[in-house]
Amino acid sequence: MIEAEKTAKMINENRENYRGVARRGSVLYFVISDLALIDPMYQYSLEYFSKLFNKRLEKSAKSDDLEERLRILMEDETGSFYTNICRGLFEKDKLLYSFLITSSIFKRSGEISMDEWNIYLRGSTTDFSAFKNDVPYISDALYYKIMALEEAHANFADISKSWASAEDAAYWRPMMSSDEPHNLPLPPKYADSLNSF
């Protein structure tokens, strides 16, 4: 009886250690199953997914260090599913698939909040037309979208004031005419507080 309890405890501890890998697997599965909404040709069975998942568990590099093993499994499973599923996708859908996997992983880990995701998908539901655009180098529509960012997340607090500020305009104005705005620096207040999403 004591031996059975020890074994059960050890199994439970090991199961908890690998829960992150199982979560990643579930994220990948639901992204892959949702591909059928893009095109009915993209139908992948749970059996196919399970076989590929288990195969990668067996074939991935081994390590005695638990943290290293978990990292290896996460990277191997994600990369393997990406490669295998991309083989069956039309070229036009591969970028969308990449985006869906990345955003789903970030949403699951909490790096993208639901407020951020909802603003990204739907925009703001607030009517900002009563507010005056104080930024001469952007349109009213863009100014209202900037105000919606303030509403979406605490990291964007006072961003409309930042755009109107002469000091921060030295950062924002070049972004408006750049072909690669993502490579330009943000004002110091936002450079440290924003993530890549």
Are residues 30 and 53 located together in one domain of the fold? yes
CB 24 within 8 A of CB 102: no
Are residues 127 and 168 located together in one domain of the fold? yes
CB 70 within 8 A of CB 17: yes
The per-residue pLDDT for range 94-126, each reduced to its tens digit, is 999 999 999 999 999 988 888 778 878 887 777
The contacts of residue 158 (CB under 8 Å, 6+ apart) are 150
Are residues 39 and 136 located together in one domain of the fold? no
Structure tokens at 34: 């949702």
Last residue of a domain, one of 82, 111, 140: 111
Last residue of a domain, one of 63, 90, 111: 111
Structure tokens at 77: 């499973």
pTM of the full structure: 0.73
Burial class (CB in 10 A: 0-12, 13-18, 19+), 80: middle
Structure tokens at 56: 């990668």
Domain count along the chain: 2
Are residues 95 and 25 located together in one domain of the fold? yes
Per the domain annotation, does 196 fall within a domain? no
Per the domain annotation, does 197 fall within a domain? no
Structure tokens at 13: 């501890």
Are residues 25 and 96 located together in one domain of the fold? yes
The per-residue pLDDT for range 162-196, each reduced to its tens digit, is 888 888 888 898 888 888 988 888 888 877 777 66
Are residues 185 and 141 located together in one domain of the fold? yes
The CA–CA distances, whole Å, from 129 to 3, 139, 142, 147, 150 equal 70, 12, 11, 11, 15
Last residue of a domain, one of 91, 111, 131: 111
Domain that holds residue 81: 2-111
The contacts of residue 146 (CB under 8 Å, 6+ apart) are 135, 138, 159, 160, 163
Are residues 146 and 53 located together in one domain of the fold? no
